[in-house]
Amino acid sequence: MAKEGLDVSRETLRKWMSQAGLWCPRRTQVQAIHVWRPRRSRFGELVMLDSSPYRWLEDRGPQCHLIAMIDDATSRMWGRFAEQDTTEENFRTLEGWLRRWGRPLALYTDKDSIFVPAGPAPLEGELRGEEARTQFGRALGELGIAWIPAHSPQAKGRIERMFETLQDRLVKEMRLAEVDTLERANRFLQVRFLLEWEERFTVTPGHPQNAHRRLESAHHLEQILSLRVTRAVAQDHTVKWRGERWGLARGEIGAGLRGARVEIERRLDGSHWLRFRGRYLRLQHCPAATPRAASPSGLRPPGLAAQRKLKGKVPCRAKYIPPPNHPWRTFLFGRKPDISTLR
């Protein structure tokens, strides 16, 4: 306006810009609105999973995470305390739900790296047309459970409100019970507090049918809820994973195993297994090689021959120089020798 020679007040300019749609008043700016969503009608139709880092034991114990699951239709919950929010700890929480009620139709989580892959699928998966999945996503696929990601914390408001309630009630009750370790906290939560939660906070679903599905005989949870990687078997029938070597017992070594691409499973009980042609072979940890003793200077100590030379037991030999008539010097490549010179 100043370039055009027009002198108007700030409010007049703001009014003109508002009418032209070039400026929007702050009080009328459009904000994201989350529409209220009714509960699912059946128990097990949708289950939410999340974790909450908090001083659950206050000053009596270490800071930990509560990894919990809640049903959308009934508000029935299950959870456990863990030191870290890892894939294996989420597997343990999911295992508790599966053994208690069965397989839900869908699982609702956030977009943490546990559930969303950080990069593209491996080359072998891309060649087979498979999408990138995390260890948790792979396990859900084998169990036939659909995964639904939440795009904002408000989208999973039911489990967020559950954590707010637990941070008030559960913390106080564990304080009265003098719970000071993770083992006692898990026992208190699963034996005592969950029963009180069932009586007070669960609701009757809209439909009486249970949407959970039973675990079939083909669903071996110890195999599905595990960490898997693909490795190549070395010539000595060992594999490497995270800087450690694992080997097979002599009686389990078979033909075609050396140099083959196999899957390594680390299960929740800490055991390691090798999967080869549909068979599971138990792996044994190979101890690391004992490093050589270093010299005081930090350098590699000299060998035995070098040590003898240094002590004077073996004299150092002078460099050998062949004479002019040595066969190595008189050898002719592809030429006939002169007989007169040989006499």
In the chain (343 residues long), the average pLDDT of successive 10-residue segments reads 66 81 62 71 96 94 95 96 96 97 96 86 64 92 94 84 94 95 96 94 94 94 95 91 89 86 94 91 84 54 57 62 78 61 52
Residue with tokens 């039911």: 158
Q: Is 296 exposed, middle or buried (0-12, 13-18, 19+ CB in 10 A)?
A: exposed
The whole-angstrom separation of Cα 315 and Cα 212 is 84
Q: Classify residue 168: in a domain, yes or no.
A: yes
Look at residue 52 in the predicted model and tell me its pLDDT. Answer: 95
Q: Yes or no: say if 239 and 233 are a contact pair by the CB < 8 Å rule.
A: yes
CA-to-CA separations, 322 to 183, 299, 325, 326, in angstroms, rounded: 80, 36, 8, 6
Q: Based on the fold, state whether residues 189 and 52 are members of the same structural domain.
A: yes
Q: Based on the fold, state whether residues 113 and 234 are members of the same structural domain.
A: no
Q: Is 341 exposed, middle or buried (0-12, 13-18, 19+ CB in 10 A)?
A: exposed
The whole-angstrom separation of Cα 9 and Cα 137 is 60
Q: Among candidates 95, 105, 103, which has minimal Cα distance to 40?
A: 105
The whole-angstrom separation of Cα 48 and Cα 70 is 5
Q: Based on the fold, state whether residues 181 and 231 are members of the same structural domain.
A: no
Out of 286, 311, 336, pick the residue that ends a domain.
Answer: 286
Q: Based on the fold, state whether residues 196 and 58 are members of the same structural domain.
A: yes
Q: Classify residue 325: in a domain, yes or no.
A: no
Strand partners, 43: 210
Q: Based on the fold, state whether residues 186 and 231 are members of the same structural domain.
A: no
Look at residue 73 in the predicted model and tell me its pLDDT. Answer: 95
The whole-angstrom separation of Cα 260 and Cα 257 is 5
Q: Based on the fold, state whether residues 195 and 63 are members of the same structural domain.
A: yes
Look at residue 18 in the predicted model and tell me its pLDDT. Answer: 81
Q: Based on the fold, state whether residues 248 and 148 are members of the same structural domain.
A: no
The whole-angstrom separation of Cα 252 and Cα 284 is 11
Number of domains the chain is built from: 2
Q: Classify residue 9: in a domain, yes or no.
A: no
Out of 270, 286, 302, pick the residue that ends a domain.
Answer: 286
Q: Among candidates 41, 76, 60, 153, which has minimal Cα distance to 108?
A: 153
Going by the DSSP 8-state scheme, the letter that residue 192 receives in this structure is I
CATH number for position 55: 3.30.420.10
Q: Based on the fold, state whether residues 276 and 241 are members of the same structural domain.
A: yes
Q: Based on the fold, state whether residues 79 and 149 are members of the same structural domain.
A: yes
Q: Classify residue 7: in a domain, yes or no.
A: no
Q: Based on the fold, state whether residues 141 and 266 are members of the same structural domain.
A: no
Q: Classify residue 322: in a domain, yes or no.
A: no
Q: Classify residue 113: in a domain, yes or no.
A: yes
Out of 269, 286, 303, pick the residue that ends a domain.
Answer: 286
Q: Classify residue 177: in a domain, yes or no.
A: yes
Question: Could you give the strand order of the β-sheet that contains 238-241, starting from the edge strand earlier in sequence?
Answer: 227-232, 261-266, 272-276, 279-286, 244-248, 238-241
Look at residue 321 in the predicted model and tell me its pLDDT. Answer: 83
Amino acid at 249: A
Q: Classify residue 267: in a domain, yes or no.
A: yes
Q: Based on the fold, state whether residues 146 and 99 are members of the same structural domain.
A: yes
- Note down the domain range covering 113: 47-120+128-201
Q: Based on the fold, state whether residues 66 and 159 are members of the same structural domain.
A: yes
